[in-house]
Chain A
Amino acid sequence: MESSFIIGKFILAACVFGLSLFVAMYSTYFERKIAAFLQDRLGPNRAGPFGILQPLADGVKMFMKEEITPIVSNKWLFIFGPSLAMLTALMTGAVIPWAPTYVNGDTYFPLQVADINIGVLYLFGVVSIGVYGIMIGGWASNNKYSLMGALRASSQMISYELAMGLSIIALVMMTGTLSVREIASQQIGWHWNVLYQPLACLIFIICAFAETNRAPFDLPECETELVGGYHTEYSSMKLGFYLFAEYINMFISSAVISTLFFGGYNFPLIYNYVTDPFWVSVVGFAVMMSKTLFFIFLFMWVRWTLPRFRYDQLMHLGWKVLIPLSIINIVLTGIGMWLTDKI
């Protein structure tokens, strides 16, 4: 491997890192703006024009806050929890193809940090480690509310991960690959997977909401019952890390949804007009980002529309509705493939 390739990868990794942080930062701003707009308010508009500097102000505020570590807590785990949450949130961005592979004569550079052939599995693995951040934090706080929140988070994640994985199996059966880049490049033009696998897509989106602990599945941190859930005892930037990790997760989930089901960087007809390899990558990235941002908007839109589920309803939905549905979907996919002579 040439050194330029490695350097390129490093730069790309740094870019993805920065992008995740930047998008997460501005998600907090847009979350508040969208919430306000949906409720006929104006939202933050004091820091800079339209309040555009609000995330910076929030960040400074977070750092300046008094940092409290409860005496009864387990110091190391208490710090480890938010760090792990943040770490895993940032790791997931590695396998997402942000733009079509840059091909110019002999130069070949995939705009994806790591093109591993089991990308989908990697995503699932890292996401399920993410729950440890919440669990450890909740456990280390030595607080009943935190522990309840952590318990809820872990059982919720386990239940929904099953349905999520099963919904992906149908997709994997159809595409015949576990590589995220392959899946993205197969959906060229209008061949978006959502058109072939609408049910899987729906299940996946619902599970993504649950996985990121967003409303209507935000039971681990529901204020009405658990004060703050797993982050009750957290303050200052440690709390900031948890909240930030949630936003990064939301960003990555949106990116994954758009890659797996909505064509990723593909958009019909666009490559008939754009042929210059540089612009192909730029346009691909723009398409990918706009899809991702739309799903972030969807996340927020749903959050400010739907009330929270009750815990038994959540479990009911996960185990008795989504899992059977995704199994049925697998069977249907199999039958469909058999009928169309794909196997």
Chain B
Amino acid sequence: MQLTNRSKVVVKKEMTLMERLYLPAILAGMWITIKHFLRKKATINYPEVKRPIAQVYRGMHVLKRDEKGAERCTACGLCAVACPAEAITMIAEERKAGEENLYREEKYAATYEINMLRCIFCGDCEEACPKEAIFLTDRIVPSEFLRNDFVYGKDKLVESVSQRVDVSVRQTKEVANFKKDNKQQHNINDLKQFFKNALIKH
């Protein structure tokens, strides 16, 4: 029964003598491989040579400190809300008297964890943060043997006072202005969404 007229009769072509000898084809194949022998290799010797990456490459996060060395994060949770992968969790705490040099705001993140296996390095957390506290950097998340080791706490995320992580390429004035611009649709939407969620929750 013929259902359509699109079917094609396949012919099994008899090979010519030249093809059946195989040798010409083998030599042609060997010529192809030997041409690759001297070609420039595609391999990059990783730890010594690094692949060139964009200036604004989105790699491992850093939690910034301010000029005086106090943590900038105020545990507002906006990054966690913005995160599409739900990779961020935190527990907020109130700053006690005498801790002003440690935390910039009156509320701070007692624990702050990013699950690097969930994270898709989209940078939304960075964009959402009102305190310029979280940034993605060009550092690469190293491989681990255990899943738990990929949950990065504050010990790995907060930059050390002496060794600051430079994020100036991402922290340009334009970016800052864009973030603070409340007329921008994305900010308005985010805020609306945030309050809506907060209302639903309570």
Contacts and interface: CB of A to CB of B under 8 A. Distances in A.
Interface of A: 34, 36-42, 45, 301-302, 304-306
Given A37-B36, A39-B36, A301-B34, A306 B41 contact: no
A45 B46 CA distance: 12
B177 interface: no
Given A42-B43, A42-B45, A45-B45, A37 B37 contact: yes
Nearest to A307: B29
B101 interface: no
B33 A38 contact: yes
Nearest to B23: A202
Closest 10 CB pairs of A and B: A42-B43, A305-B33, A38-B33, A305-B29, A40-B42, A37-B37, A305-B30, A41-B43, A42-B41, A38-B36
Contacts of A304: 33
Given A302-B30, A305-B29, A305-B30, A38 B37 contact: yes
Contacts of B43: 40-42
Contacts of B34: 38, 301
A324 to B, nearest CB: 14
A288 B188 CA distance: 81
Contacts of A305: 26, 29-30, 32-33
A57 B202 CA distance: 64
A304 B30 CA distance: 9
Contacts of B39: 40
A88 to B, nearest CB: 29
Interface of B: 26, 29-30, 32-34, 36-37, 39-43, 45
Nearest to B44: A42
A42 B39 CA distance: 11
Contacts of A301: 30, 33-34
Given A40-B42, A42-B41, A42-B43, A306 B36 contact: no
B30 A40 contact: no
A34 B30 CA distance: 13
A235 to B, nearest CB: 24
A41 B37 contact: no
Contacts of B33: 38, 301, 304-305
Nearest to B20: A321
12 contacts: A40-B36, A40-B39, A40-B40, A40-B41, A40-B42, A301-B30, A301-B33, A304-B33, A305-B26, A305-B29, A305-B33, A306-B29
Contacts of A306: 26, 29
A39 B35 CA distance: 10
A41 B29 contact: no
Nearest to A37: B37
A42 B34 CA distance: 15
Contacts of B32: 305
A158 B188 CA distance: 81
A244 B45 CA distance: 29
A59 B84 CA distance: 49
A41 B42 contact: yes
A42 B40 CA distance: 10
B149 to A, nearest CB: 25
A305 B32 CA distance: 9
Contacts of B26: 302, 305-306
Contacts of B40: 40
A301 B33 CA distance: 8
Q: Which of A34, A38, A45, A301 has the most CB of B within 10 A?
A: A38
A34 B39 CA distance: 12
Contacts of B42: 40-41
B121 to A, nearest CB: 28
A110 B43 CA distance: 48
A265 B36 CA distance: 31
A38 B35 CA distance: 8
Contacts of B29: 305-306
A41 B30 contact: no
Nearest to A38: B33
Given A302-B26, A306-B29, 14 more contacts: A36-B41, A37-B41, A38-B33, A38-B36, A38-B37, A40-B36, A40-B40, A40-B42, A41-B42, A42-B43, A301-B33, A305-B26, A305-B32, A306-B26
